[in-house]
Structure 1
Amino acid sequence: MELLAPAGTIENFHAAFEAGADAVYVGAPGFNARNLARDLRLEEIGAMIRFCHERGKKLYVAANSLILERELPLVAETLAQLEFLGPDALIVQDLGLIRLIRRYFPKLRLHASTLMTAHNSPAVSALAGLGCQRVVLARELTVREIAAIRARSEVELEVFIHGAMCFSYSGLCLFSSFLGGKSGLRGRCVQPCRRAYTVAGKGKGGTGGKGGSYLFSMNDLSGLEAVPALREMGVASLKIEGRLRSAHYVRTVVGAYRMVIDAAPHELETVMIEAGARVRQAMSRKVTPGYFFSPQPQDAVTPHHSGNIGLHLGRAEKFTATGEGRYCSVALKEDLAVGDRLRLHLEPSGERLAFTVKEMYLGRQAIEAAEAATLVRIALPPACPAQPGQNLDLYKVDTAGGGAAEMPKLAVAEVKTALAGYRSRLVRRLRGIAREVWEQDQSRTGDRHGRGDRRTPGAPVAARRNRGVAAGRTTLEWWLRTDSFKVLQTRLPFAPDRFLLSFDKGLVSQAGQIRRLLGNRARDVIWGLPPVIQEQDLTRTHKQIGNLLRSGYKSFQISHIGQLDFFAGERVHLHGDYTFNLLNSQAVAAVATAGLESVQLCIEADRQSLGELIQGCRMLSEGSGRGGERRSPRLGLTVYGSPPLFTARLAAPHFTYDRPLLSPKGEALVIRKKEGFTETHSTRPFSLLPYLAELKGLGLDHAVVDIRGGQVDNRLLKELQERLTGTGRHAKLPTFNYLGRLE
């Protein structure tokens, strides 16, 4: 079993192997899911690869960011150079990147990132079918669920064993993007899950609910006790998270897991105790076993604590200013030395500020080090915004002189020269790829923004009727997405082209009533599957889908590529949800090959990115037919609603459901319990309804209006009708990233 360690820097790279790692993973420059201060350069990665291969070790490159259409040429150039350098695999999440690599860079081995939300055996099989030789499983699985997936899968499985946990399923978090365009799926997450939240109406000093404010701030994962079971079931690799962590962290944690993996059965109990002690000195957050031993771990979140990285030194007190210097006193809970790296955590803003200890005093005497339980005074950085009386916690995140004494030399200059020579031969190859993929002859396209009729055979009858929605003297087919039987019973003030119904147990059980209620319009129903279906729920889901098929329903929307398995051999119309995260035409082409008639494009897209994406799909569609490829599916977009910002497995006892929460910045949210997971929504929907004509002009085929989750009454329906038609006067709603910029 492989022990895989993070290497965000060259220092961490050496620390990992010194401590016993079998392999490391680094980020691909410019398109990996960690926003580092400085990405490793290609020549540094190449030198690392040489170093590893000379010693029988492996190096994987995380190229796990979503790719915008305009980024495809640069990504292709980087992929070509990575293929030349020869890493042991690329870790990917973008379906378009998988398609590019398989078609043009087949020497590159593929691993499916945890951002692809592989949480059951059909998901793993589907990703293997796309060409992934290894799948990194979702972090929300129990040991028992991993064993069941392993028993039904031939492909290698990788499991996150230690490090930071996201509150949301990886690949399904929209929070950071929704609140400011910084997409976690593109490595720009600002970690809103680490903030403090208060229940609306409890006043300034209120808590987030039942016992704390840090509702979503997950403790770190430590899976030491799960290692023997994972090894026995045949998991290929254990992965340690932490490309942003220090060399001390990497060395300490890797060393602890090396001890456990190598321990003989009779030594395991003793070794586990020692390894656990080491992990506690790694300066991480509080550690727990995560989901390994329970689908609802009670200690996954400590809501009364911020969950900051590092050893908690204590709370700063007695702020003083002398000349230009600012100081605070703290009763140390851990040892501290000049040169140690600290992080300040300020409340209630949640701001964090990192700095190195340059001065420390015991009384009036300057000292170099102090032991725990000592009251010391330390110098704060000039940028510290703390004020007397404000809560200020201090954490130690790295030690002075924590790096390796002497790092082996890497052949960076040698690789740089080799890369330069390869680039001079690369131009012709890249031009050929560009002509075939994103620079096809545009003389055939006619109107630059219109794509003509690209309907696939058997397109829904509602699309041909095109009842549409008026928006600035144009019409656009639109779908109403709901999870409420009551909405279907209501005399609606509008006529959607399609009804997109949630695949909830309650609604599915009323499928016969819905069919009788809608009459001929039942043919316009699409059942939308949820993004997460646990392994133990597969049989039930198969049965429910079978019942719907026998009831005459033939249209379904899937939320994950693995859900194609439910419809194998069936004559159905399949559509794709926005959870496919399609941001480039190569990704759309990938799902077209899977047989989807329509897809929703990435809900995070801004106006420019969306226009470029649709244009790229149009060019691919008009150039299709060569090699038997499918034409591009019809393109849709969610244009109204409050999408789940977090989709999480955890239903913690400290959650307050269906009641507004406020962030430190005044953003209002609500937690709702669903079947098998929880969702966190903004209480205020976003709306692109004023831009329907523009979206139609860009080439969009249909729009989705999502009214799931909240209370739907006649007043809301009337307001929605007026927003759809551009009548009435209503307050402006946010536009997600459409008028902003997706980062």
Structure 2
Amino acid sequence: MELLAPAGTRENFLVAIEAGADAVYLGAPRLNARNLARDISLDEIGALIDFAHDRHRKVYIALNSLVRESDLSLVLETLAELEAIGPDALIVQDLGLIQLVRRFFPSLRLHASTLMSTHNREGIALLARLGCTRAVLARELTLEELAILARSSSIELEVFIHGAMCFSYSGLCLFSSYFGGQSGLRGNCVQPCRRKYSVVGGKGRGGGAGRGGYFFSMNDLEGLPLVPELKRIGIASLKIEGRLRSATYVNRVVTAYRLVIDAADEDAEAAIAEATRLIPEAMGRATSTGFFLSPRPRDAIVPHRSGNIGSYLGRIEARHAVAGRTWGQLTLKEQCVVGDRLRLHADRSGERTSFTLTELMVGATPVKQAVAGQQVELLLPAALSTAKDPGRLDVYRVDAKEETGQLLRGAAAPARSVKMSASRKKQLAMRIARLRPQIVIGEERVERQPDGTGRGRGRSGRKPKAEVWLRTDSPQLLLGRLPFHADRWVVNLRRQSLSFSGRLKGMHKGAVRDIIWALPPVISPAAMTALQRDIRILIRSGFRSFQIAQLGQIELFAGEKVNLFGDYTLNLLNSQALELVFRFGLQGVQLAIEADRSCLARAVAGWRQRPSADQAAKRSPGLLGLTVYGAPPLFTARLAADHFVYGRPLASPKQELFTIEKQEGVTVTRPQRPFSLLPFRGELEQIGIDYLVVDLSGVRAGKKDLQELGRRILGTDKVPALPTFNYRGTLA
């Protein structure tokens, strides 16, 4: 069993190796799903790979950011350089990146990131077909489910064993992106799950009107007691989260898990006890065993306390400025040391500010540390001096002072970087130059098109008109008379909606052709058998069109003559990803719902003008769709916590309103107000979008609501403005 450690810095990499990690993972510069203050350069990574290989350790490179069309040039250069320096594998989520590696860099091994939300046999089987040698599984799986998957998997399986937990399934979280364009899929998550929310208009066990709680803030994962069982069922690798954490954290956690992995069966209990004593030294954060022991862990969230909060040091009692610097006075609840990583929690706004403590005063005397009970003054971050009054400020220690010097005392050190020879650089540049025209369309080819895409006009000279597809989780809606026309209907496949299939079939002559059944993005191993039965029933009834939410769901239709479409949860934002999915026979796919206008235009242009497409790919219909109206799930989670209040509004510190909704096997959190791109219908048609999805899932659909929606679709009357997601902004 492999122990895989994180490293966000060169020093942490060396600490991980010294502490006994079998492998270390690093982020590729500008293309990984962690927004680090400073990425490790490829030259530095090359030196670290040589150092690790000399010691028979492995290095994996996280190239796991969602790739925009404008990123493809950087991706190409990065892949070419990585092939030259020889990491042991790349950790990826973007299907376009997988396509590029398969076609042009086949010597690079691929591990599927947890951002691909892999959680069942079908997903694993698809990854094997794509050439991945390992799947990093979703954190939401139980030991029992992991054992089932391990028995049938043809590739290695990796699980997270320790560190921070997202509330939502990784790869299915839109919360950070929906309000401000900071995409979690691109390493820019602002962690809205860590904020305090209040229940509006009623009382519940997690809070009441005017009261709040950290309803979505998961405690850290700690799986030390479960290592022997994970080893027994055949999990290949245990992964520690924490590329943003300190060297102290990496050392303590790697040392702890090394003890347990190496222990003989008869010594396992003693090793776990010894290792458990090391963990509090690393972080001082509340932990749980996550989903390993139950799909509904009761200790995963403590709603009155944020899960990533660390050790409470006290409340700022007074603030004052000296020479342009802001100091905060408090009475310590625990020891504090210069160099500790601290976090301020502003009660009024819910905002959190992290900083490293650089100066500490007791009275007028500068000190290096202070103990519980002492009144001290901390030098606060500069941003606080210009901020509005934050109200009550609580201080927490979230990481201990770096001990890198002590931890690496006497350890061997690698070269700072490995410089490529001039001849090798020339060869690399020539190869990139040969490949670039096959992958990247030139800026001039986008800009010279009148619509920015290169999509042609019809024979009449007019731009093609996009179809309108109506999506719903209430089939009854389709049986009534709608105040607008929909070209096709997308029905969410659930037990309740299946019971309407006979009536839907008889709606009109073309109903079977016009209805598309949409699969959910999460299908647990236990639910898969029932879903397969439902699909067979629908196919026998004459339905032939289905929408998949994960690419692995293709496996459910093997041997069937069906028309398959892709949901926005495939996270497609570049022409290479589109080429890959269309090679699997999909008739149409939705582009990523979080895209801005520029991202959409470039992705469509790249697909329409793709220079590398062979004749088979060019014959594909290649229809491109986009969800243009709806209240999409911002969180899609497995946890159904006791403190959740379903159906009542929750308010964020910024008074954004949401509701939690229980579905089959998941809970989803939606914004109360839908977004709408319908005012930009003409623009989207010019960009080259073939069908526009109006999604009423979880949205009010009374008579007046539908009439207003009809006016929005027709664009005939003025209607209240709605948010536009990232379309008019920038996806970061």
| In 1, Cα distance between equivalents of 2:70 and 2:358 | 45
- In structure 2, stretches of 5+ residues that fail to align are none
| In 2, Cα distance between equivalents of 1:589 and 1:388 | 51
* TM-score, structure 1 as length reference: 0.92
Deviations for 1:406-439, whole angstroms, at most 9, x for unmatched residues?
A: 46432234x1244x54222123222221222334
Aligned to 1:437: 439
Change (3 A) 1:513 1:307: same
| In 2, Cα distance between equivalents of 1:69 and 1:609 | 7
Aligned to 1:570: 560
In the TM superposition, residue 334 of structure 1 has moved relative to its aligned partner by 2.7
Deviations for 1:78-118, whole angstroms, at most 9, x for unmatched residues?
A: 10000000000000000000000111011110000000000
In the TM superposition, residue 181 of structure 1 has moved relative to its aligned partner by 0.9
Q: For residue 392 of structure 1, what is the amino acid of its counterpart? A: L
Deviates more, 1:173-182 or 1:358-367: 358-367
**2:231 alignment partner, SS class:** helix
Aligned to 1:240: 240
In the TM superposition, residue 489 of structure 1 has moved relative to its aligned partner by 2.4
| In 1, Cα distance between equivalents of 2:370 and 2:389 | 24
| In 1, Cα distance between equivalents of 2:465 and 2:388 | 56
Aligned to 2:467: 477
Aligned to 1:23: 23
Aligned to 2:587: 597
Q: For residue 558 of structure 1, what is the amino acid of its counterpart? A: I
Aligned to 1:307: 307
Change (3 A) 1:125 1:362: same
Aligned to 2:195: 195
**1:181 alignment partner, SS class:** coil
Aligned to 1:462: none
- In structure 1, stretches of 5+ residues that fail to align are 455-471
1:211-230 alignment, distance < 5 Å: 212-230=212-230
Deviates more, 1:101-110 or 1:404-413: 404-413
Deviates more, 1:440-449 or 1:22-31: 440-449
Cα contact 2:587–2:620 (8 A) shared by 1: no
In the TM superposition, residue 218 of structure 1 has moved relative to its aligned partner by 1.0
Aligned to 1:52: 52
Cα contact 2:220–2:308 (8 A) shared by 1: no
Cα contact 2:308–2:398 (8 A) shared by 1: no
In the TM superposition, residue 448 of structure 1 has moved relative to its aligned partner by 6.7
In the TM superposition, residue 390 of structure 1 has moved relative to its aligned partner by 3.3
Deviates more, 1:528-537 or 1:318-327: 318-327
1:3-152 alignment, distance < 5 Å: 3-152=3-152
Deviates more, 1:278-287 or 1:420-429: 420-429
Q: For residue 263 of structure 1, what is the amino acid of its counterpart? A: A
Cα contact 1:473–1:693 (8 A) shared by 2: no
Cα contact 2:246–2:400 (8 A) shared by 1: no
**1:475 alignment partner, SS class:** coil
Percent of aligned pairs with the same amino acid = 53
| In 1, Cα distance between equivalents of 2:621 and 2:26 | 34
Cα contact 1:574–1:597 (8 A) shared by 2: yes
1:686 corresponds to which of 636, 657, 675 = 675
In the TM superposition, residue 474 of structure 1 has moved relative to its aligned partner by 6.8
1:718-733 alignment, distance < 5 Å: 718-733=707-722
- The answer on 1:266 being equivalent to 2:266 is yes
Deviates more, 1:682-691 or 1:82-91: 682-691
**2:153 alignment partner, SS class:** coil
| In 1, Cα distance between equivalents of 2:201 and 2:156 | 50
Cα contact 1:197–1:208 (8 A) shared by 2: no
Cα contact 1:449–1:699 (8 A) shared by 2: yes
In the TM superposition, residue 694 of structure 1 has moved relative to its aligned partner by 1.3
RMSD in angstroms over aligned alpha carbons? 2.6
| In 2, Cα distance between equivalents of 1:428 and 1:355 | 44
Aligned to 1:545: 535
1:183-582 alignment, distance < 5 Å: 183-201=183-201, 207=207, 212-283=212-283, 285-319=285-319, 326-362=326-362, 367-384=367-384, 390-400=391-401, 402-405=403-406, 406=409, 408-413=412-417, 415-418=418-421, 421-439=423-441, 449=453, 451=455, 475-582=465-572
Deviations for 1:689-743, whole angstroms, at most 9, x for unmatched residues?
A: 1111111111111110001113311101111111111112211111111111111
Change (3 A) 1:162 1:41: same
| In 2, Cα distance between equivalents of 1:451 and 1:320 | 61
In the TM superposition, residue 207 of structure 1 has moved relative to its aligned partner by 4.0
Change (3 A) 1:318 1:56: same
Cα contact 1:249–1:284 (8 A) shared by 2: no
In the TM superposition, residue 55 of structure 1 has moved relative to its aligned partner by 0.5
| In 1, Cα distance between equivalents of 2:84 and 2:338 | 45
Change (3 A) 1:398 1:494: closer
In the TM superposition, residue 662 of structure 1 has moved relative to its aligned partner by 1.1
Change (3 A) 1:13 1:643: same
| In 2, Cα distance between equivalents of 1:155 and 1:227 | 20
| In 1, Cα distance between equivalents of 2:306 and 2:596 | 32
Cα contact 1:211–1:303 (8 A) shared by 2: no
Q: For residue 503 of structure 1, what is the amino acid of its counterpart? A: L
| In 2, Cα distance between equivalents of 1:659 and 1:291 | 26
Deviates more, 1:398-407 or 1:316-325: 316-325
Aligned to 2:578: 588
In the TM superposition, residue 314 of structure 1 has moved relative to its aligned partner by 2.8
Deviations for 1:522-541, whole angstroms, at most 9, x for unmatched residues?
A: 32000000000000111111
Q: For residue 618 of structure 1, what is the amino acid of its counterpart? A: R
**1:384 alignment partner, SS class:** helix
Cα contact 2:72–2:439 (8 A) shared by 1: no
**1:33 alignment partner, SS class:** coil
Change (3 A) 1:586 1:320: closer
In the TM superposition, residue 337 of structure 1 has moved relative to its aligned partner by 2.5
Q: For residue 664 of structure 1, what is the amino acid of its counterpart? A: P
- The answer on 1:703 being equivalent to 2:692 is yes
Deviations for 1:281-301, whole angstroms, at most 9, x for unmatched residues?
A: 212531110100000111111
| In 1, Cα distance between equivalents of 2:584 and 2:313 | 54
Change (3 A) 1:670 1:401: closer
Q: For residue 434 of structure 1, what is the amino acid of its counterpart? A: R
| In 2, Cα distance between equivalents of 1:100 and 1:530 | 28
Cα contact 1:340–1:357 (8 A) shared by 2: yes
Change (3 A) 1:53 1:510: same
Aligned to 2:701: 712
1:619 corresponds to which of 597, 603, 609 = 609
| In 1, Cα distance between equivalents of 2:466 and 2:389 | 58
| In 2, Cα distance between equivalents of 1:719 and 1:473 | 27
In the TM superposition, residue 389 of structure 1 has moved relative to its aligned partner by 9.6
Change (3 A) 1:525 1:675: same
* TM-score, structure 2 as length reference: 0.93
In the TM superposition, residue 392 of structure 1 has moved relative to its aligned partner by 1.9
**1:394 alignment partner, SS class:** strand
Deviates more, 1:657-666 or 1:315-324: 315-324
Q: For residue 90 of structure 2, what is the amino acid of its counterpart? A: L
Deviations for 1:476-504, whole angstroms, at most 9, x for unmatched residues?
A: 21100001133122211112110000011
Aligned to 1:465: none
Aligned to 1:458: none
Deviates more, 1:439-448 or 1:309-318: 439-448
In the TM superposition, residue 388 of structure 1 has moved relative to its aligned partner by 9.0
| In 2, Cα distance between equivalents of 1:168 and 1:41 | 31
**1:281 alignment partner, SS class:** helix
Deviations for 1:524-563, whole angstroms, at most 9, x for unmatched residues?
A: 0000000000001111111010111111111000001110
In the TM superposition, residue 214 of structure 1 has moved relative to its aligned partner by 0.8
- The answer on 1:677 being equivalent to 2:681 is no
Change (3 A) 1:709 1:381: closer
